[in-house]
Amino acid sequence: MTTSATGARRSITPLALLMTCLGSIIGSGWLFGAFNTAKIAGPAAILAWVIGMVMMMAIALTYTELGAMFPESGGMGRYAGYSHGPFAGVLASWSNWLSMLAIPPIEAVASVQYMSGWAFPWARGLVEGGTLTTSGLIAATALMLLYTLLNYWTVALFAKSNTAITLFKLVVPLLAAVFLIAYGFHPENFTAAASGGFAPYGWAAVFTGVATSGIVFSFNGFQAPINLAGEAQRPGRSVPFAVVGGILLAGVVYVLLQVAFIGAVAPASLAGGGWAGLKFESPFAELAVALGLNWLALTLYADAVISPSGTGITYAATTSRALQALARSGYMPAFLGQLHPTLGVPRRALLVNLALSLLALYLFPNWEALAAVVSVTCVVGFLTGPVSVASLRRTAPQAPRPLRLAGLPLLAPLAFVFASLLVYWSRWPLNGQIMLLVLLGLPIYVAVQARRGWEGTARHLRSGLWLPAFLLTLTLVSFLGSREFGGRGVLPYGVDMALVTVLALAFYFWGVRSGDPEAMEEVPQDDD
């Protein structure tokens, strides 16, 4: 067993890393994503999943080169610091950590919401109107404690338990899709004029579905193997293998599930309010019960605890690595980055994240709202990856690259445009609120620089100014944008997306040219 430069043990095999990626992607997203996307986009939700998979694949590929280049725990939050210095690095690390903090609570909420359909008196009171009750919060808290404890004792235990859980998680969604299609498929649902046809709410709704319904939230799981690269065997090969394989396999599962859901809904259920009027607490299980597939419903109710728990376990690990990365970079107290001397686990980061995640659970005990917030936050963080990888090609051409992506000069700007459009599609005012939350990370930089005597501040600002400038510009465009995306309607539909694309390309090239050749030497490293 080898050890990384940060002191973490390289105990995770390529297969375990792939299962980690799948375990992150196929969590509560499969339980609710198809339902939420159909409510927003109707049958065109199928295209939303395909569009989302392609966009997230492009973004993820830029991170695979970075993950192989810097195989360290919590790497997603440190790449902007390597390419552009601490000013941009603070914002990237902050947004990356924020996007992951609420994921364990979301998975716990999803499990409890499905548990409310169990045939036990105590289960009926767990959820009310889609929100957890007091007893539901207690159950979700217990699940989150379990997620943390599995990671607290050892990385190897986490990897082994997650592989077993993920294998089960793959089988159950496929069973649900196959049997719903076989026993209750209504092909007329895809084109029925009474419910609005294939795209009843227009193409803007399809794009919004990509950004907020749970699609980005689900594919966001590609981060897991990158954040665990420091504990992975042969990261130059295993990281891209896990990321690409995980996205493709999960994408096939999600598209099948979306087709099955649309086809399984009883046409009579659409007669009143159409797709937007559907009401389910546990969508796939309720459809199985309606079709008389009670054995499938029981399996789904059981898997509703196992699938989200697998993702919760994974993100308890990856979120602790994100906080560890903040500490190693000097943006958080150093004790949060310390590893257990024999197990190589960041126990203090795990416990701090547990406390903050529980706070998020108690403030927002609702799956749909949390998923939308996490989706936008993580995409804002993804803006830095394509710029960082292209900039490092220019400022550090001789740096070791176990993986060198072909076609990066085309892929990186495309990924940046995709991330920018996803932020815009998430609709005003949500995207503006999230970008403000990300910008609140700037006081951390001020505090760090004040402690260091303001050394290098002018250079840091020159290198990183493009990022907050773009966030503020995108906020303004969203506010003025078309009414289809929640804006004031100053920019017509179509023109707004064209403007976002042009601005994204302009800021992308500004960001690439702003890379700091000295930044890599200034990123603090762990002494363990």
Predicted confidence band of residue 523 (pLDDT cuts 50, 70, 90):
low
The distance in angstroms from the start CA to the end CA of the chain is 17
Tell me the angle at which helices 347-363 and 103-115 cross, rounded to the nearest 10 degrees.
Answer: 50
- What pLDDT is stored for residue 342 in this prediction? 62
Residues 27-49: what's their mean pLDDT? Answer: 91
Percentage of the chain with pLDDT > 70?
90
Closest-CA residue to 209 (of 24, 27, 52): 52
Predicted confidence band of residue 162 (pLDDT cuts 50, 70, 90):
low
Q: Is 357 exposed, middle or buried (0-12, 13-18, 19+ CB in 10 A)?
A: buried
> Which phi and psi (to 5°) does residue 7 adopt?
95, -5
Are 344 and 7 contacting, i.e. CB atoms less than 8 angstroms apart?
yes
- What pLDDT is stored for residue 528 in this prediction? 41
- What pLDDT is stored for residue 4 in this prediction? 46
**What whole-number distance in Å separates Cα of residue 460 and Cα of residue 471?**
17
**What whole-number distance in Å separates Cα of residue 202 and Cα of residue 59?**
26
Is 58's pLDDT higher than 60?
yes
pLDDT per residue over 479-512, tens digit each?
999 999 999 999 999 999 999 999 999 999 999 9
Cis before 429 (ω within 30): yes
What's the token pair of residue 12? 């995770």
SS3 at position 2 = strand
Dihedral (Cα; 2, 145, 222, 168), 10-degree rounding:
90
What's the token pair of residue 362? 């108690």
All residues at 6 or more sequence positions from 325 whose CB lies less than 8 Å from its CB, including other chains: 72, 73, 74, 75, 76, 77, 78, 93, 337
Quickly count: other Cβ atoms within 10 Å of residue 241's Cβ: 18
Residues 147-175: what's their mean pLDDT? Answer: 71
Closest-CA residue to 418 (of 58, 156, 121): 58
CA 154 to chain centre: 24
- What pLDDT is stored for residue 12 in this prediction? 73
Amino acid identity of residue 82, one-letter, is Y
> Hey, which of 51-65, 163-177, 225-239 has the most confident mean pLDDT?
51-65
What's the token pair of residue 212? 């907020």
**What whole-number distance in Å separates Cα of residue 35 and Cα of residue 300?**
15
What's the token pair of residue 405? 């992506």
Q: Is 17 exposed, middle or buried (0-12, 13-18, 19+ CB in 10 A)?
A: buried
Are 341 and 89 contacting, i.e. CB atoms less than 8 angstroms apart?
no
**What whole-number distance in Å separates Cα of residue 41 and Cα of residue 47?**
9
pLDDT per residue over 433-474, tens digit each?
888 888 888 888 888 888 878 888 889 899 999 999 999 999
- What pLDDT is stored for residue 332 in this prediction? 76
CA-to-CA separations, 32 to 68, 214, 528, in angstroms, rounded: 33, 8, 42
**What whole-number distance in Å separates Cα of residue 345 and Cα of residue 342?**
8
Please give the domain boundaries of the chain with CATH numbers for all domains: 14-368 (1.20.1740.10)
**What whole-number distance in Å separates Cα of residue 448 and Cα of residue 434?**
23
Angle at 315 between CA 160 and CA 63, to 5 degrees: 100
All residues at 6 or more sequence positions from 71 whose CB lies less than 8 Å from its CB, including other chains: 4, 229, 230, 232, 235, 236, 239, 402
Assign residue 274 a region: left if phi > 0, alpha if psi is -120 to 50, beta otherwise? Answer: left
Is 2's pLDDT higher than 50?
no
Radius of gyration, CA atoms only, the chain? 22
pLDDT per residue over 393-438, tens digit each?
999 888 888 778 889 999 999 999 999 999 999 999 888 888 888 8
- What pLDDT is stored for residue 75 in this prediction? 66
CA-to-CA separations, 354 to 217, 348, 463, in angstroms, rounded: 20, 10, 34
The DSSP call for residue 131 is E
Tell me the angle at which helices 203-212 and 28-41 cross, rounded to the nearest 10 degrees.
Answer: 160
pLDDT per residue over 206-227, tens digit each?
999 998 888 988 898 887 787 6
